[in-house]
């Protein structure tokens, strides 16, 4: 099977969901600051950054 193609709409949805996950991770860290919760925040932010990089790469080049 060939590589799967991700549409812009799919990326936008994943970015929205990842952004919600960042909010949840930050709320958990605010309630209970711990190294584990900080790692969850860092991982969630990394996911958003990765998805935003993919979204930027998917834009048509001028």
Give per-residue pLDDT as tens, 5-40: 778 999 999 999 999 999 999 999 999 999 999 999
The pLDDT of 50-60, averaged and rounded, is 92
Q: Which residues make Cβ contacts (< 8 Å) with residue 12, sequence separation at least 6?
A: 55
For residues 47 and 24, the answer to whether their CB atoms sit within 8 Å is no
Q: Which of 59, 55, 61, 47 is nearest to 11 (CA)?
A: 55
pTM: 0.84
């Amino acid at each position: 099977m060939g590589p799967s193609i991700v549409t812009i709409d799919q990326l936008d949805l994943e970015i929205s969901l990842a952004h919600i996950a960042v909010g949840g991770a930050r709320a958990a860290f605010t309630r209970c600051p711990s190294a584990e919760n900080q790692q969850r925040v860092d991982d969630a932010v990394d996911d958003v950054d990765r998805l935003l990089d993919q979204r930027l790469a998917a834009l048509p080049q001028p």
